[in-house]
Amino acid sequence: MSAAGPPQGANASLGGSAGHAVTSVGALSQSEFGKVAVLMGGASAEREVSLMSGRGVLKALLSRGVDAHAFDPSERALDELKREGFARCFIALHGRFGEDGTVQGALELLGIPYTGSGVMASAISMDKVMTKRIWRFEGLSTPAWAQVSSAAQTHAAFAELGAPMIVKPAREGSSIGFTKVLSADQCDAAYALAAQHDVEVLCEQFIAGDEVTCPVLGPADAPQALPLIRIVAPDGNYDYQNKYFTDVTQYLVPAGLPAGEEEAIAELVCRAYQVLRCRGWARADVMIDAITRTPYLLEINTSPGMTGHSLVPMSAKAAGTSYEELCVQLLRSATLDARSIP
């Protein structure tokens, strides 16, 4: 079990901008982007959600005159992108082999610009333990944690972190393999469930309070936060089902937080985005301690969902940007790591 010390303070110097990014998108010609592949599906545990995201993005791009085509990397070799003349890719893949740097690395080798973060930022952000280590080093607040590799270590983490404790795979999303542990007798099952999805398992201090999410757009050196969304799930259970397949979760935007809190959290999230060298877009999840009102960074998603229940389009709409405009704006930001090398 790797120790992880107490949570770090949120009063570090913060960069970025809490201003809401809104870009107007007019009529497009197909020549602006060339032939575009919307990468969707894939082989991860989030395949079903990725297909929903990809279909939405594809429909939006086609409605704006973009020469866009569906492309499922689990069914076709990526080198077909080059052979078929695709000029850029919109990555609507979620989870492993989609937002963990692997597809990004392949597209770098193929020389095809893509949406979202580059290879390193994607790989680090997918790994919750590595992400938390960097945030902690940079003085950004994140809940205390322990990385475990056995049920016995999970019990030890519970004794250290207390109840409730969150147990989840280190490299999965959408609450897959997630357990909120309330008593020690749940540790064995919680570890077994998380270990089904990853050899690296994260035990994390639970922060009781408001749950919010903050999307960010733009390059690492000039991130722009979109409006925060406060998430109110049944009994606080914002699981896979309540995220994508029910209508019982409430999404509040404006978030209705006390004066100054939204701006402070947006600045914190922009700084979290910067230190990981994210680009294009991302969405960070934050818990606000109910007593101290301290915000704690949980994780960052560098290929957020674009389904009917997804939060980035919801936040963008609150800022005056339609789903279609958002998709075109993201496609326009497609680039390569190699382009930043002198």
Tokens at residue 20, please? 């809401």
Nearest by Cα to 287 from 256, 312, 265, 308: 265
Residue 59 forms part of a structural domain? yes
What are the tokens at 315?
């936040």
Does 163 share its domain with 305?
A: no
Query: Are 288 and 201 contained in the same domain?
Result: no
Amino acid at 227: P
In a shared domain, residues 199 and 216: no
DSSP state of 251: E
Q: How far apart (Å, rounded) are the C-alpha atoms in residues 165 and 163? A: 5
Residue 192's CATH number:
3.30.1490.20
**What 3-state class would DSSP assign to 36?**
strand
Identify whether residues 215 and 323 lie together within a single domain.
Answer: yes
* pLDDT tens per residue, range 217-249: 999 999 999 999 999 987 666 555 555 556 778
Percentage of the chain exceeding pLDDT 90: 80
- Is the link from the previous residue into 254 a cis peptide, with omega within 30 of 0? yes
Name the token pair of 221: 């050196």
- 133 and 247 inside one domain: yes
Task: Mark whether 35 and 64 lie in a shared domain.
Answer: yes
In whole angstroms, give the CA distance from residue 54 to residue 48: 10
Domain boundary among 205, 228, 245: 205
- Residue 30 CA: distances (Å) to CA of 33, 63, 184, 290: 6, 11, 58, 50
Is 36 within the bounds of a domain?
yes
pTM above 0.75, yes or no: yes
Contacts of 136 (CB under 8 A, 6+ apart): 4, 5, 8, 142
Which residue carries 């993005």 as its tokens?
57
Output the CA angle 129-132-134, nearest 5 degrees.
110
Q: How many domains does the chain have?
A: 3
**Does the residue 252 lie in any domain?**
yes
Q: Is residue 56 part of a domain?
A: yes
What's at 186, amino acid-wise?
Q
- Both 201 and 211 in one domain: the answer is no
Structural domain contains residue 292: yes
Do 275 and 130 lie in one domain? The reply is yes
Return all residues near 319 (Cβ < 8 A) that are at least 6 apart. Answer: 20, 21, 22, 226, 227
* Domain CATH code at residue 47: 3.40.50.20
Active site residues: 46, 174, 244, 283, 285, 299, 301, 305
| Lowest mean per-residue pLDDT among 2-16, 82-96, 226-240, 262-276 | 2-16
| High-pLDDT (> 70) share of the chain, % | 86
pLDDT of residue 179: 95
Q: Is the peptide bond preceding residue 295 cis, with omega within 30 degrees of 0?
A: no
Residue 258 and residue 127 share a domain: yes
Host domain of residue 105: 30-116
Residue 224: strand pairing partners: 17, 217
Nearest of 261, 270, 169, 176 to residue 214 by alpha carbon: 270
On whether residue 276 sits in a domain, the answer given is yes
Higher pLDDT, 323 or 32: 323
pLDDT for 242: 55
- Flag whether 342 is in a domain: no
Mean pLDDT of the chain: 90
pLDDT > 50? residue 127: yes
